[in-house]
Amino acid sequence: MRIYSLYSSDVVSFSAIFVWCGFQTGNFAQLAIALCRLFEGAPGHRDQTFHKADQQALCSLISFNLGAFIGRIGDKVGAHKRIWLIAGTFIQALFTMAAAISFWKSGQGSIADERDDPAWTNLRTFVGLAFMSAALGVQGILGKRLNTQFGTTIVLTTVWVELMSDPSLFRLRQRVMTRDHRLIAAGSLFLGAFTGRAILGQIGTGGTMGVAVGFRVLITLSWIFVPSKLAPARA
């Protein structure tokens, strides 16, 4: 469900401005390209404009890292403690709610027609993008500290590599946790992106983010019912 909510959020930002709020590799590379553009061409004919898309990529990158930094609170409380898992996920829900309100108040569209004609251009959409990216930053560090087969639940490129290199990949008649969980992650990626785009086309950005808030609240409550990890018996 966490991966599902991630990709519904990423679909929202990519559909509007072609910026991923969770995949910061692309945003960081985009900023490098923007910097390189300053030195291209003859003097006096260089494009020295910090384009709107580059501003949005920078906004997402900074906000994501701030969210991940907030997630370090869990290191003080206890990264695997139930109280932090509930609190950390609830923080994500609050950030996502703030994003939903910002997009709703912005009065702007949800889907861009062309890359040079983004749907989001005003200040409130920047605020919404910041909160949405920060929520995923918190999610990333929670996933990292849990250290499951789903990885950080943010970047799944490593999950694909680990899936393809899994020695038990073709043991189809056996239940293999490492392989099966990675397949679930990949399936959730596709399902979240597909469903998120379908919802976005029907109810717009604010409504779609409202749905994401609901998912995050359900995830928050689900931590109450997750069994505790038993400590190893002492000799």
Range of weakest confidence among 8-17, 97-106, 154-163: 154-163
Q: Is residue 235 in a domain?
A: no
221 band by pLDDT with thresholds 50, 70 and 90: very high
Given this model, what pLDDT does residue 152 score? 60
Q: Is residue 227 in a domain?
A: no
- Distance of alpha carbon 127 from alpha carbon 39, whole angstroms: 31
Given this model, what pLDDT does residue 230 score? 52
183 band by pLDDT with thresholds 50, 70 and 90: confident
Given this model, what pLDDT does residue 94 score? 96
Q: Is residue 188 in a domain?
A: yes
Check residues 12 and 49 and name the one with the higher pLDDT. 12
Question: What is the tally of structural domains in the chain?
Answer: 1
- Domain range enclosing 115: 2-222
Contact 21, 136 (CB under 8 A): yes
pLDDT over 70 (residue 6): no
Given this model, what pLDDT does residue 59 score? 95
Q: φ and ψ at 52, to 5 degrees?
A: -55, -45
pLDDT over 60 (residue 231): no
| Total residue count of the chain as it appears in this document | 235
* pTM of the predicted structure, to 2 decimals: 0.83
Output 52-56 pairs: Cβ under 8 A, ≥24 positions apart. 52/17, 52/118, 52/121, 53/17, 53/18, 53/19, 53/115, 53/118, 54/30, 55/126, 56/17, 56/19, 56/118, 56/120, 56/126, 56/129
Given this model, what pLDDT does residue 235 score? 44
pLDDT over 70 (residue 150): no
Half-sphere exposure of 77 (CA within 13 A, CB side): 17
Q: Is residue 105 in a domain?
A: yes
pLDDT over 80 (residue 7): no
User: CB neighbours of 190 closer than 8 A, spacing ≥ 6?
Assistant: none
- Distance of alpha carbon 127 from alpha carbon 60, whole angstroms: 10
Q: Is residue 118 in a domain?
A: yes
233 band by pLDDT with thresholds 50, 70 and 90: very low
Residues 179-202 have a mean pLDDT of 84
Q: What is the mean pLDDT of the chain?
A: 84
Q: Where are the alpha helices (DSSP H) in 38-111?
A: 52-70, 73-77, 82-106
Tokens at 219, concatenated: 């995830």
Check residues 54 and 41 and name the one with the higher pLDDT. 54
Q: Is residue 230 in a domain?
A: no
Rg from Cα positions in the chain: 19
